[in-house]
Structure 1
Amino acid sequence: MKLHKASAAAAAALVLSLTATACGGDSSDDAGGDSGGGKITIGIKFDQPGLGLKKPDGTYAGFDVDVATYVAKELGYDAKDIVWKESPSAERENLISNGDVKFVVASYSINDERKQKVDFAGPYFLAHQDLLVRSDDSAITKAEDLNSKKLCSVTGSTSAQNVKEELAPKADLQEFGGYSECLTGLENKAVDALTTDDSILAGYASQQEHQGKFKLAGLKLSDENYGIGLKKGDTDLQTKINAALKKMESDGSWQKAVTANFGPSGYKNEPAPAITEGS
């Protein structure tokens, strides 16, 4: 009998302990809050130099990281309060809808299909599909020059299909698992060009080990308006993020972040786009 009572008491204590832990988790990881205090969880890419990159020392760098950090500060969170969560392209809507992140800043192009599932703030950046070629290549100056050339992109890339189907049907499309493989192929002359958003290409070309080796062709094959993804219907947060983005542009922080992250590639960025979401 005494053993039974002791077990019951222990069980009750465990339940109380777990309840307290859960309550404590709500206050310390404030993924659902937007007014400071505790933590805020933000989704970014971990593998895109210049945009969102987790470095070997465990820190994070890139334009999207700078934008997210600025927005978080305007919402009342210091940089140390941010919990970064990796947000691969295929998982962005799920992470937002499930409440795993407060918002996502991850080269996230605004389009009607995505707006069925999430809302956006912004846009905060206008990118274009472009080509990256070797710095000494003068033969590729327009998309049509890729006919009979080897074009590289990642498996399943809509950018590569766009070029092959619409612009250079005779291009020899080479698809690899990641952009780093395309860059190696481009450097070794196994491929002639790499295609995706110019911001992503500029990020890779700006890496110290790549500086001077590659150049952007400067083509504008599509318009990609990057927005900050958030839970559908959260108009209060959308309004606050939009206000933060406007302030970032007006006080010079936006251009400073662009120059710091893309400047070494010689990338000629578009001006900060007008805020259209939620207006």
Structure 2
Amino acid sequence: MKLRHASAAAAAVVLALTATACGSGSDSGSNGDKITIGIKFDQPGLGLKTPDGSYAGFDVDVAKYVAKELGYSEDKITWKQAPSAERENLIKNGDVKFVVASYSINEKRLKEVDFAGPYFLTHQDLLVRADDTTITKVEDLNSKKLCSVTGSTSAQNVKEKLAPQADLQQLGGYSECLTGLENKAVDALTTDASILAGYASQKEHQGKFKLVGLSMSDENYGIGIKKGDSELKGKINKALEKMVSDGTWDKLVKQNFGPSGYKNEPAPKIAG
């Protein structure tokens, strides 16, 4: 009888531990005193994993600021790569607490996730080779090979509205497009001016490329969160408002985009 009672007690303990473990996963993207945040790994000036394994860029700095305001110091952050085509899945599956990855707010995405912010406004532009004189307006793309990233709003904007006859090639990352541009496999790369400026200002790329200087769309970057999480949205918006009011936003913009000469817009009004 004693053995039977001991076995029952042990089973009860196992069940209790299992229930506790399941419960700890309810707060998706965070685990006690740690938090997982989605960023880009291949966007200089915004989100870049450096050779030494650290992370740099405006989005990274914004994410660190927000995380600190939520109670997570930098050493408690786990960074997870968030490619354009995977951002919604990462959020919905609970793989990350939130995503800060040049994530433009639009109606299609709002059906799947919610956004805090916006925290940055940029415009879609084109990057071409420095010696290219054939592309000066968006219509010139109709006879050209254009590269962008799978899942980005930029590619669809050009193909559906601006230059339907462009030979659009969608690759996995902007760095792949840039290699194609340098090797003359494509004629232009399109995405947000902030992203293009980050690439063009890298030491190994200086003098090779130029921005055409177009404003083909307004891109409001937001912080992607799980649909319906109004509590987290409110906390992040409060953190973003503080970041602007205490001067940190301006400091981070100059720090990350200043070297490229990029002309940024003022901090956008954060939505309610």
TM-score by length of 1: 0.81
Match of 2:87, SS state, is helix
Instruction: Specify the alignment match of 2:212 in structure 1.
Output: 217
SS state of the match for residue 52, structure 2?
A: coil
Q: Is residue 235 of structure 1 aligned with residue 233 of structure 2?
A: no
Deviation of 1:132 after TM superposition, in Å, equals 0.4
Task: Give, in whole Å, the separation in 1 of the partners of 2:217 and 2:265.
Answer: 13
User: How far 1:248 sits from its partner (Å)?
Assistant: 1.3
Q: Secondary structure at the match of 1:196?
A: strand
* RMSD over aligned Cα atoms: 3.3
Structure 1 stretch displaced more, 107-116 or 161-170:
161-170
Letter in 1 for 2:149: V
1:53 to 41, 48, 52: 48
Give the partner amino acid of 2:226: K
The whole-number CA distance in structure 1 between the counterparts of 2:164 and 2:19 is 62
Give, as a single letter, the amino acid of the residue that structure 2 aligns with 1:100: D
Q: In the TM superposition, what are the counterparts of 1:59-208 in structure 2 within 5 Å?
A: 59-155=54-150, 158-208=153-203
Whole-Å Cα distance in 2 between the matches of residues 177 and 64 of structure 1?
A: 20
Sequence identity percentage: 78
Check 1:52–1:21 CA distance in 2 against 1; reply closer, same or farther (3 A cut).
farther
5+ residue gaps, structure 2 = none
Q: What whole-Å deviation, never above 9, does each CA across 1:142-195 have from its counterpart, x for those lacking one?
A: 112334333222356553343344333443444444322321232233432111
Query: For the Cα contact (< 8 Å) 2:84–2:149, is it kept in 1?
Result: no
Q: Deviations over 1:98-145 (max 9, x none)?
A: 333221111111122222222211001112211001233344221123
Distance 1:119 1:198 in 2: 24
Count matched residues.
270
TM-score normalized with structure 2 length: 0.83
Q: Which runs of 5+ in 1 are unaligned?
A: none
SS at match of 1:136: coil
Q: Is the contact made by 2:42 and 2:175 (CA closer than 8 Å) also made in structure 1?
A: no
**Which amino acid is 1:272 matched to?**
A
CA pair 136-231 structure 1, distance change in 2 beyond 3 A: same
Q: Tell me what 1:247 maps to.
A: 242
